[in-house]
Amino acid sequence: MAMLDSFNLFISIAKIIYMKERILSGLQPSGRLHVGNYLGALKNFVELQNSGEYDCFFFIADYHSISEPPYESEQKRKDILDLMKSYLAAGLDPKKSTLFVQSQIPAHTELSWIFNSVTPMGELSRMTQFKDKSEDGEANAALFTYPVLQAADILIYKPAFVPTGEDQDQHIELSRVIARKFNSRYGEVFPEPQSKHTDIPRVISLNDPSKKMSKSKPNGCLFIDDGPEEIAKKLSSAVTDSGSEIKYDAVHKPGISNLLRLASALSSKEIAVLEQEFAGKNYGEFKSYAAKTVADYFAAYRERKTKLSDAKAEKIFTKGSMKAAKIADATLLEVKDRIGLI
C-alpha cells in the first residue's frame, strides 16, 4: 500500500512538472545592462522562475550580438561572461532554470536557415528595429535576418510565452507568422508563442523622453551596475518636464512619470503613495530619492556579481547548453523529417 501511495505521489509530481508551460527569453551580450533591460526583461525572468509555475529557459543571444559593433573578440568574450554573471547575480538559478548560450547550440542556426525559406521578405522589411538600426549607415544582412534567427531561438523550444520588453512585440509576432507558415506548409509542429510583459514594458531614455532607453544610446541609460554617485549624477540631470509637481502623467509629463515608474518598481511603493509623499516637494528632492532607491536596490546585485568568477559562470552555462541542445536537436530532427530531408 505504502509503495502504491509513493507511486501515485510520484505520478502526481511528474504530471505537475510535465504540465508546466515553458517560457524562454534571452538578452544580447552587447554591453552593460540598463534599467530598461532589467525592468522590461531580467527582473521578470527571475520572478517567473521563482513563481515555480514555468519550465524556464534563458539564454545569452551571442549570435545576435555580432550583427552590431563592437567586433573585438576580447570585448565579445568579456561581454558574454559579464552577461552570464549578470543573470546569476540578478537571481537566475541553474537549479530552477536552464541557462544556456545560443552559439553553443548549432540547431538554432540550422533551423533559422529552414525558416528563411518560409519567411516573406516583406515581413522582414517592415521590422521597425531594423529600420531604426540601419538608419545610421549601411546595415549587414544579419541585422536584416535577425528576427528569423530569433524565431528559431524561440520556436525550437516550443514555449508558451516569451517574456520581453514591448520593443520585441513585432519580432514575437513574426515568430508566430513563421510558425503558421511552417505549419501550413509541412503540418503542425510549432505552437504560437505569446509575449509576456512586465508592468513597465518600455523604460524611456533619461535624456529624451520620446525615445526608449537603449544600449545604443548610452547617454540616456542608467546602468544597473552604475555606482551610487554615477546614479545620482545621471538622475539629477535627467530630463524632466515643465512645471514642478511630482505627478504621474505619461502624456504631458513623460520624464517625471518615467522616474516615478522606476522608483515605484524598485521600492515596491505604489506611484500614488510616492505622489503623496512628494506633494509640495520639487523635482530635485524626488530625483535624490529616486537615486537612493535605485542605488540601494542594486547594491546587493553588484556585490553578488563581484563574487562570481568567470570560470564558474561559464561552467554553469555550458552545462545548461548541453541540456537545452537535447530539446533543440529533437525539434530539428522533427522539422527535417517533416520537410523530407534525409
Residue 37 touching ligand AMP (CB under 6 A): yes
Output the nine-digit C-alpha cell for 334: 522533427
Q: Compute the least distance from the CB of residue 167 to ligand AMP, in Å.
A: 5
Catalytic-residue membership of 196 = no
Q: Compute the least distance from the CB of residue 79 to ligand AMP, in Å.
A: 11
Candidates 110-118, 119-127, 210-218, 258-266: pick the segment binding ligand AMP (CB under 6 A): 210-218
Q: Compute the least distance from the CB of residue 42 to ligand AMP, in Å.
A: 7
The single residue among 28, 103, 119, 321 that binds ligand AMP, judged by CB under 6 A, is 28
- Cβ(195)–Cβ(172) below 8 Å: yes
Nearer to ligand AMP, 34 or 253 (CB): 34
d(CA 112, CA 155): 10
Output the nine-digit C-alpha cell for 95: 537549479
- Strands 161-163, 194-196: parallel, antiparallel or unpaired by DSSP? parallel
Residue 255 touching ligand AMP (CB under 6 A): no
Residue 102 touching ligand AMP (CB under 6 A): no
Nearer to ligand AMP, 175 or 214 (CB): 214
Q: How many residues does the chain have?
A: 342
Residue 213 touching ligand AMP (CB under 6 A): yes
Q: Compute the least distance from the CB of residue 282 to ligand AMP, in Å.
A: 26
Nearer to ligand AMP, 253 or 261 (CB): 261
| Residues paired with 26 in a beta bridge | 59
Output the nine-digit C-alpha cell for 164: 520581453
Catalytic-residue membership of 212 = yes
Tracing cell 532589467 back to the chain, one arrives at 38
The single residue among 108, 196, 212, 234 that binds ligand AMP, judged by CB under 6 A, is 212
Residue 80 touching ligand AMP (CB under 6 A): no
d(CA 26, CA 337): 28
Nearer to ligand AMP, 165 or 209 (CB): 165
Residue 167 touching ligand AMP (CB under 6 A): yes
Residue 217 touching ligand AMP (CB under 6 A): no
Residue 84 touching ligand AMP (CB under 6 A): no
The catalytically annotated residue of 76, 78, 215, 269 is: 215
Output the nine-digit C-alpha cell for 224: 544597473
d(CA 63, CA 237): 35
Residue 36 touching ligand AMP (CB under 6 A): yes
- Cβ(67)–Cβ(146) below 8 Å: yes
For residue 111, the SS3 value is helix
Q: Which residue number has the CB closest to ligand AMP?
A: 40
Residues in the interface with ligand AMP (CB under 6 A) total 17
Edge-to-edge strand list for the sheet holding 161-163:
97-101, 54-60, 21-27, 161-163, 194-196
Residue type, 251: V
Candidates 16-24, 117-125, 199-207, 236-244: pick the segment binding ligand AMP (CB under 6 A): 199-207
Exposed e or buried b per residue across 233-246, where buried means at least 16 C-beta atoms within 10 angstroms of its C-beta: ebbeebbbbeeeeb
Rounded to the nearest 5°, which phi and psi values hold at 87?
-55, -50
Residue 147 touching ligand AMP (CB under 6 A): no
d(CA 44, CA 196): 9
Catalytic-residue membership of 133 = yes
Output the nine-digit C-alpha cell for 110: 540550422
The single residue among 202, 247, 336, 338 that binds ligand AMP, judged by CB under 6 A, is 202
Nearer to ligand AMP, 112 or 214 (CB): 214
- Cβ(56)–Cβ(97) below 8 Å: yes
| Residues paired with 34 in a beta bridge | 223
Catalytic residue list: 133, 212, 215
